[in-house]
Structure 1
């Protein structure tokens, strides 16, 4: 396989050299939107075709080389000879290859690539692999909202993975004392660190954030200040501007359970204020969480034992394709975040942010990216829905960059990228979304509780009731034989289009679902995950213990569910439970156990419990044909008909009352019109009299003359 990859990459390299040697030219062509879309569809360019389907443009700019068309998304060389020999080299990197520029020294980045592949798998699972797919999500209903919630749940599940890894180290006798979080600007480090502290506290750790911004050297000790005594010479992004020795001493002391006096740095004066701030000693289960651009630098933690440090690299690694040759640039994603935050919270214009961007990226390349391979975990903080929401904030700012501004062409490039995205309202972002660090607002509480609870549900449903933290029902042990017969062949495969639940991790107990807030989004997410987990539990042949199923069912709070699709899926699940129960009961009618009074009573209790589960659903929202199955109790059909009749009676009564009100309003309007007509007649008569008097005045005037 490796030899085949090397051979394939070699063939591509030779083809590239031949293409450059023949000096082919690329022409910019303007094609009709329908023609270009048809070309891309016919040639299997799925992403380009999807993008054009969601853009209303009569003409499309393309590049054409030897009859091949590609969308003109970014500038390209006019001639192949412009690519000098050795400018680009292709290196095999499973499952493809990497294009490396001559000035770059490529180093393998397995963790980063795996995070990117995970992002691709997520997009493939939700059929949102390109910008065109994202734009095609429905504006009405819950399609967009459900996708946004899925993106958020994926991010929260990664936080849970990190917390689980820290817990696993503790179980292995290698307790983590320091967690270092580093990443380029606008990666969401602050929000991520705060959330991580919440997750760690939930696992019993005492997680405390430590701000390292106060560890800058005083001005008189800054190396670059010594030469000219000019503060402007100090580079605060350089590692030499930090008091690395003091950082290491304090981290080591805190990791060993000692208290320290951290400095308080005054950015206005460039010196430290007072005696500092006392940080109490960490307890045995304490963890320091630090974030900053140098957090992964070995100099930071050289005084702390390596097994006590857990390093995290965070960055938004976008995987959305614009077309089949270009993806959304990660740097563009971060720049959009930075631009929104700078404007909303620092008052900087788009031009100001663009002007600083090159220097910011230079510092990242020198102090952050070289250490990313040292991370124990790579956190992808990108969410596919962010750019359409950021567009609401950024587009007006970019349009204020005038043509005479040096940053105009950068602004124009970003505007062109944003033009490929639709515009989504900011309120689509959940309260705990990391995006709120850049657009303001938000609240991390409900998502934190919801995610932990749902992960507990998925874990419990996957492994059966034995792992639930629920009170066991005494009848379970007495009916093992019957339970064994009641599982298996009748379980459904799950709702249509659901192959498996994408959230398969978590270490919490089910009762945490009781703390999911009564917000629409939180409950909708909890019901969907719970229901899909229940279907998978059926498909896996887990024993059909009705009391346990009832307890799980109650966690969904179905009485308040208004979503017709969820109600339909829930009805299908309970119907299958009822069918399995009836089938098992029929098969056991001839056994001696079935004649046992306690056994008979247990059957009755199970039937009552399942009927209560049916009753929790607002089945009147469904069509009658969805209830016409042998596995829906006839009482429900009667209730459904009665509910529909009552609903129709209420509607008819409302119509009658509306008609009465309308008639009364019509009569009132008639009276008003009659009154207005009378007033108009009076005005007309007065007008006639006025005209007569005016004629008399004119005649008198003529006579006097």
Structure 2
């Protein structure tokens, strides 16, 4: 549905930032408008139980999008439940290993797809299902149980990194599936059209802010993990993007202005020493090109609050329940936020 936006020019961004509130509201309205169109499409398929498979790479905004999608459907009278694939991780002892013997948390093989199949089969056949909630502190299934009801005409929003992988959808009737790929697709360019911030850079800035806010993780640590995260995305997530019925670009053209102040502080602290000095310096130089505007104008319902805190949909408690921002591990064995 959503066409990739053209390169967003820094001079245009800075000009529009002179009326900061109007600029932000325009960006927010575009995202909300696209989300409403997706809700409309789903409602047009009403009558049967539907499974919305929502995937995307790290810091794409898929968690907030999935919860806003649920809220939008329920506001239109459609009973909706949210299912996070994070709850279907295998216990650490059963997690597949990399060749060097470390756990491979990036692979879909780290998910208990047999359990997911069992749950969805029960929902289709009996309208009810239950499953244990994954405890990320213990790295295994805990004592808490999630109970779901999915009567005729209702919708299940299944969100996770691997939601578009055919292995996940194999247990579902094809006519009941709606696939949504959520990511940042746009880039920011200078006056000559040269890229200042790639789509991947935009997600990295988002993730640095979120890692610090919710996991007390430094920019240096996030930069250390980022290459492995992107490699996992290229292997296990992006190849299935063509399967999506709809692609949603979650970029806010105003976000470099909103994030610049905090991002500069984080990246400047990361370039003091270490192997990622050049990358941090490059990002600092890019972020300095944008006019800063206040984050105070961002309402709690906005997707950008997922990375800054103060979200209507996400807070430390809900992130902890959903895995503390995924609570996975990178191929280096360190904790990452999805």
What TM-score does the superposition give when structure 1 sets the normalisation length?
A: 0.42
Partner of 2:122: 253
- Map residues 501-520 of structure 1 onto 2, 5 A cutoff: none
Partner of 1:317: 185
8 Å Cα contact 1:169-1:176 kept in structure 2: no
Q: Please tell me whether residue 134 in structure 1 is matched to residue 13 in structure 2.
A: yes
Query: How has the CA–CA distance of structure 1 residues 322 and 217 changed in structure 2, closer, same or farther, with 3 Å as cutoff?
Result: same
Q: 2:61 aligns with which of 157, 175, 188?
A: 188
Q: Which runs of 4+ in 1 moved over 6 A?
A: none
Cα deviation for residue 212 of structure 1 reads 1.9
Post-superposition Cα deviations, 1:616-665, rounded to whole Å, max 9, x if no partner, equal xxxxxxxxxxxxxxxxxxxxxxxxxxxxxxxxxxxxxxxxxxxxxxxxxx
Q: 1:169 aligns with which of 45, 51, 56?
A: 45
Q: 2:3 aligns with which of 109, 115, 121?
A: 115
Partner of 1:370: 239
Q: 1:391 aligns with which of 260, 267, 280?
A: 260
Cα deviation for residue 203 of structure 1 reads 1.8
Q: Please tell me whether residue 307 in structure 1 is matched to residue 307 in structure 2.
A: no
- Map residues 329-348 of structure 1 onto 2, 5 A cutoff: 329-348=198-217
8 Å Cα contact 2:181-2:244 kept in structure 1: yes
Query: How has the CA–CA distance of structure 1 residues 319 and 356 changed in structure 2, closer, same or farther, with 3 Å as cutoff?
Result: closer
| Structure 1 CA distance for aligned equivalents of residues 124 and 189 of structure 2 | 44
Q: Secondary structure at the match of 2:29?
A: helix
Larger radius of gyration: 1
Partner of 2:331: none
Query: How has the CA–CA distance of structure 1 residues 424 and 369 changed in structure 2, closer, same or farther, with 3 Å as cutoff?
Result: same
Q: 2:33 aligns with which of 139, 152, 157?
A: 157
Partner of 1:270: 139
Cα deviation for residue 398 of structure 1 reads 1.3
8 Å Cα contact 1:316-1:330 kept in structure 2: yes
| Structure 1 CA distance for aligned equivalents of residues 86 and 274 of structure 2 | 34
| Structure 1 CA distance for aligned equivalents of residues 311 and 215 of structure 2 | 19
8 Å Cα contact 1:166-1:176 kept in structure 2: no
Q: Please tell me whether residue 209 in structure 1 is matched to residue 82 in structure 2.
A: yes
| Structure 1 CA distance for aligned equivalents of residues 204 and 52 of structure 2 | 26
- Map residues 489-504 of structure 1 onto 2, 5 A cutoff: none
8 Å Cα contact 2:14-2:291 kept in structure 1: yes
Post-superposition Cα deviations, 1:278-330, rounded to whole Å, max 9, x if no partner, equal 42331222211111111111111211101101110000122443233323300
Aligned residues: 312
| Structure 2 CA distance for aligned equivalents of residues 178 and 363 of structure 1 | 25
Cα deviation for residue 184 of structure 1 reads 0.6
| Structure 1 CA distance for aligned equivalents of residues 146 and 184 of structure 2 | 35
Cα deviation for residue 442 of structure 1 reads 4.3
Query: How has the CA–CA distance of structure 1 residues 322 and 256 changed in structure 2, closer, same or farther, with 3 Å as cutoff?
Result: farther
Q: Secondary structure at the match of 1:166?
A: helix
- Map residues 59-78 of structure 1 onto 2, 5 A cutoff: none
Q: Please tell me whether residue 353 in structure 1 is matched to residue 226 in structure 2.
A: no
Query: How has the CA–CA distance of structure 1 residues 402 and 410 changed in structure 2, closer, same or farther, with 3 Å as cutoff?
Result: closer
**Structure with greater strand share of residues:** 2
Q: 1:408 aligns with which of 272, 277, 293?
A: 277
Query: How has the CA–CA distance of structure 1 residues 220 and 411 changed in structure 2, closer, same or farther, with 3 Å as cutoff?
Result: closer
Partner of 2:318: none
Query: How has the CA–CA distance of structure 1 residues 151 and 223 changed in structure 2, closer, same or farther, with 3 Å as cutoff?
Result: closer
8 Å Cα contact 1:262-1:277 kept in structure 2: yes
| Structure 2, unaligned runs of 5 or more | 314-338
Post-superposition Cα deviations, 1:3-37, rounded to whole Å, max 9, x if no partner, equal xxxxxxxxxxxxxxxxxxxxxxxxxxxxxxxxxxx
| Structure 2 CA distance for aligned equivalents of residues 402 and 215 of structure 1 | 37
| Structure 2 CA distance for aligned equivalents of residues 320 and 440 of structure 1 | 24
| Structure 2 CA distance for aligned equivalents of residues 368 and 223 of structure 1 | 18
Query: How has the CA–CA distance of structure 1 residues 221 and 320 changed in structure 2, closer, same or farther, with 3 Å as cutoff?
Result: closer
| Structure 1 CA distance for aligned equivalents of residues 175 and 192 of structure 2 | 43
Q: 2:22 aligns with which of 146, 163, 186?
A: 146
Partner of 1:222: 95
8 Å Cα contact 1:219-1:271 kept in structure 2: yes
| Structure 2 CA distance for aligned equivalents of residues 255 and 326 of structure 1 | 51
Q: Secondary structure at the match of 1:400?
A: helix
Q: Please tell me whether residue 381 in structure 1 is matched to residue 250 in structure 2.
A: yes
Cα deviation for residue 413 of structure 1 reads 0.7
Compute the RMSD of aligned alpha carbons: 2.1
| Structure 1, unaligned runs of 5 or more | 1-110, 124-128, 445-705
Cα deviation for residue 219 of structure 1 reads 3.5
- Map residues 398-437 of structure 1 onto 2, 5 A cutoff: 398-437=267-306
Q: Secondary structure at the match of 1:115?
A: coil
| Structure 2 CA distance for aligned equivalents of residues 402 and 202 of structure 1 | 47
Post-superposition Cα deviations, 1:442-479, rounded to whole Å, max 9, x if no partner, equal 447xxxxxxxxxxxxxxxxxxxxxxxxxxxxxxxxxxx
8 Å Cα contact 1:262-1:279 kept in structure 2: yes
Partner of 1:101: none
| Structure 2 CA distance for aligned equivalents of residues 383 and 281 of structure 1 | 35
- Higher relative contact order structure (alpha carbons within 8 Å, sequence separation ≥ 6): 2
Q: Secondary structure at the match of 2:287?
A: helix
Q: Secondary structure at the match of 2:210?
A: helix
